[in-house]
Amino acid sequence: MEYKDYYKILGLERSAGTDEVRKAYRKLAMQYHPDRNPNNKQAEEKFKEINEAYQVLSDKQKRARYDQLGSAYSNWEQRSGGGQQGDFDWSQWFGGQPGASGGTRVEYGDLNDLFGGQEAFSDFFRSIFGGGGAQTATRGRSRPAYQQPVTISLDEVYHGTSRSLQSDGRQLEIRIPAGVKTGSKVRAAGAGPDGSDLYLIVDVAEDNRFEREGDDLHTSADTDVFTAILGGEAEVKTFEGIVKLKIPAGTQPEQVFRLSGRGLPRLKSAHTKGDLFVRVKVKIPKKLSIKQKSLLEEAARNKSD
């Protein structure tokens, strides 16, 4: 059996933190996702590897067990002078087998629906963490839960969304409620194989329009210098469309205004929303008409301290 270097697959150092793991996974998953690479077998296999690596390195228990295996495998390589992988004693690491350390509960993503029913995990993963033929080792203990990472947009966080999955020949529609955050778990009881529970592990993609802070959002709006001086309105993008922000006379560059209830819905209380904070960006014109320049020069001469 071939040893899988999950850190190398995600392009990470072994000291990588949780955020680094998530960011590396998100970047690579978007690049190699089957929807972006139709009929590309190489990209499909790469996507499987990426998801498998994320399943392990994003889970504290599985990562600890994998790191133990990695240390043992590295020591064996040094002692054997780079022997054949088949000579390594894998049996003590098989999920649930006698002598296996940690007693790691089997939890892994059911991604088979993305690949037309083909096995989404390698023999290495299924042997170490369960699933497929190795899943029989979990009988007599707790029934395994299944996890699947899913990336959603900030728009979907605002409105709520769903994902269609196939499990045991069933087509399932799993609702993801509004207000979820990265790391939120959406449980679908009995939706996994053999009646097990299925969890969607949410990863919220970055949005170049907004920065999220809990249920609040931060954005910016442009206005010209004349509106900032005299007052007026600025357009602000929200998830419900464009709204008009009142700009008081004398508004300063980078001044922040609060739009109450224009943020994200609160999880389990979608009727309550956070706030939207708008930072005003005052645009200074590079060219002025003769009349505009004359009026500004007059205003400058008459300014009060």
Asked if the structure places residue 108 within a domain, the reply is no
Q: Provide the CATH number for the domain around residue 262.
A: 2.60.260.20
Of 56, 79, 102, which closes a domain?
102
Number of domains in the chain: 2
Half-sphere exposure of 277 (CA within 13 A, CB side): 11
Instruction: Give the CA distances from residue 22 to residues 28, 52, 138, 240, 292, in Å, rounded to whole numbers and listed in that order.
Output: 10, 13, 28, 29, 52
> From CA 62, how far away is CA 133, in angstroms rounded?
19
Of 68, 102, 136, which closes a domain?
102
Return the pLDDT at 247. Answer: 96
DSSP state of 122: -
pLDDT along the chain (305 residues), means of 10: 86 92 88 82 87 87 85 73 57 47 36 45 73 36 66 93 79 90 86 76 91 96 93 95 95 96 90 95 89 82 67
Asked if the structure places residue 178 within a domain, the reply is no
Of 43, 72, 102, which closes a domain?
102
> From CA 276, how far away is CA 265, in angstroms rounded?
12
The encoded tokens of residue 21 equal: 């793991």
Q: Provide the CATH number for the domain around residue 40.
A: 1.10.287.110
**Domain residues for 219?**
211-301
Return the pLDDT at 88. Answer: 66
pTM of structure: 0.57
Cβ atoms of 272 and 266 closer than 8 Å: yes
With CA atoms as reference, report the closest residue to 121 among 55, 33, 24, 42.
55
Asked if the structure places residue 254 within a domain, the reply is yes
Instruction: Give the CA distances from residue 277 to residues 212, 245, 256, 283, in Å, rounded to whole numbers and listed in that order.
Output: 10, 11, 6, 19
Residue 87, classified by CB atoms within 10 Å of its CB into exposed (0-12), middle (13-18) or buried (19+), is exposed
Asked if the structure places residue 235 within a domain, the reply is yes
Return the pLDDT at 117. Answer: 42
Return the pLDDT at 120. Answer: 58
Asked if the structure places residue 251 within a domain, the reply is yes
DSSP state of 142: P
Asked if the structure places residue 112 within a domain, the reply is no
